Amino acid sequence: MVRVLFLVPLGLYAQHSDTSLVNPFQSPDDRARGAVFFRSQCASCHGADGKGSGQGPNLTLGTFRHANSDEGLFKVITKGVPGTTMPGFSMNGREIWQIAGFIRGLNLSRMAEQAKGNAAAGEALFQSQNCLACHWLKGAGASRGLSLASIGSRLSVGEMRTALLEPSADVAPEYWHWQGKLKTGETIKGQRLNEDTFSIQVLDSTGRLRGIDKSDLAEQSLERKSSMPSFQGRLTEAQIGDLVSYLTTLK
Ligand code: HEC
Ligand code: HEC
């Protein structure tokens, strides 16, 4: 896969926002409403059970061609797929999220079938591979890092594999890789958590929270890739399966 490196001065980007791209409407009630909308708006092409028809593809396979996140699903539903019969829908945001949650639910039952690894072995790997240097789970790890608490109800097996093997495939701007060089010569890399006029807060690659005065910086850049390392080649295929199995238990 060709990776586009994208270097920009930080100032072009607005303050890091804490707005999460995760579906905010995921209660059982929301999903039930989503199901109702789905049957009235989408079933004619995607089938009442979402498994597809002659008019539209199966949406229950656990991966999507045009989306690999909640935000991606939201975009597909609001914008449609240009050049195909998949229309964009202009319902309100809440309704779109509810439909997205319903579709996600269809995939989660599928997901349980697909995760075939050993979850206990995966949990041991989770500890030994130092995932908690950057992530937060069950009261441990990097408290400002991305929480994996309900990852099992947010990502399909395919998406988890992508997250582990190709972390930079679909990375949101707030996770772009920050790198700065201090006037002292020290280089710091990691995830930019916050920025104001005078300082920047970075979760560095060793899991340490660093407050940096901008006046101490000689240079800085932001790259369109994740600070998460790829586990491709570091772990065997079986180990990846074990880790994914463990992640699916986090709900
Ligand atoms: C007129 C038929 C039609 C209707 C109605 C329709 N879709 Fe689609 N949808 C399609 C087609 C065709 C595609 C495949 C586009 C392509 O070729 O990639 C698609 C693709 C999608 C995809 C992307 C699948 C992927 O693998 O990336 C999603 C998600 C989706 N539709 C959701 C919905 C939802 C939700 C609704 C109702 C709000 C809906 N669709 C209504 C025809 C339809
Ligand atoms: C050096 C820091 C770092 C380490 C170590 C790390 N991650 Fe990540 N991880 C991130 C960042 C930053 C993101 C968000 C950006 C992205 O999607 O890549 C992320 C994203 C993820 C996601 C996708 C989350 C979502 O909501 O889409 C999963 C799953 C994940 N990591 C699991 C793991 C596991 C399991 C390990 C250990 C085997 C691990 N990570 C190790 C930094 C790290």
Distance 48 CA to ligand 2 centre (A): 35
Please give the pLDDT value at position 96: 93
Reference 200, options 15, 75, 9, 6; nearest CA is: 15
Q: Is 151 in the pocket of ligand 2 (CB under 6 A)?
A: yes
Please give the pLDDT value at position 60: 84
> C-alpha angle with apex 5: 22 to 79, nearest 5 degrees?
40
Reference 101, options 38, 31, 53, 158; nearest CA is: 31
HSE-CB at 119 with a 13 A cutoff on CA atoms is 10
Please give the pLDDT value at position 111: 58
Please give the pLDDT value at position 185: 95
CA-based max dimension of the chain: 64
Tell me which ligand sits closest to the C-alpha of residue 149: 2
Task: Work out which ligand 2 atom sits closest to the CA atom of 160.
Answer: 29
- The residue nearest atom 20 of ligand 1, judged by CA position, is 86
Reference 173, options 69, 66, 64, 94; nearest CA is: 69
Core vs surface per residue 88-120: b (16+ CB within 10 A) or e = ebeeeeebbbbbbbbbbbbbbebbeebbebbbe
Q: CA-CA distance, 202 to 220, in Å (whole number)?
A: 12
Q: Is 57 in the pocket of ligand 1 (CB under 6 A)?
A: yes
Q: Is 129 in the pocket of ligand 2 (CB under 6 A)?
A: yes
Distance 130 CA to ligand 2 centre (A): 11
Please give the pLDDT value at position 15: 32
Cα of first residue to Cα of last residue in the chain, in angstroms, is 31
Please give the pLDDT value at position 188: 94
Q: Is 58 in the pocket of ligand 1 (CB under 6 A)?
A: no
Q: Position of tokens 């399909």?
A: 156
To test ligand 2's pocket by mutation, which of 146, 222, 230, 244 has the most ligand atoms within 8 angstroms of CB?
146
pLDDT in tens, 168-213: 887 777 788 899 999 999 999 998 888 889 999 998 877 788 999 9
Reference 93, options 73, 110, 121; nearest CA is: 73
Q: Which long-range contacts (CB under 8 A, 24 or more apart) does 59-65 make?
A: 59/103, 59/106, 59/107, 60/106, 60/107, 60/110, 61/107, 61/110, 62/107, 62/110, 62/111, 62/114, 62/156, 62/157, 62/158, 63/156, 63/158, 63/159
Please give the pLDDT value at position 39: 92
Q: CA-CA distance, 14 to 191, in Å (whole number)?
A: 15
- The residue nearest atom 9 of ligand 2, judged by CA position, is 228
- The residue nearest atom 39 of ligand 1, judged by CA position, is 42
Please give the pLDDT value at position 18: 35
Please give the pLDDT value at position 114: 64
Q: Position of tokens 């319902």?
A: 91
Contact 190, 198 (CB under 8 A): no
- The residue nearest atom 36 of ligand 1, judged by CA position, is 42
Q: Position of tokens 């994996």?
A: 148
Contact 176, 223 (CB under 8 A): yes
Q: Is 85 in the pocket of ligand 1 (CB under 6 A)?
A: yes
Residues in the chain where the model's pLDDT stays below 50? 1-20
Reference 123, options 9, 206, 34, 242; nearest CA is: 242
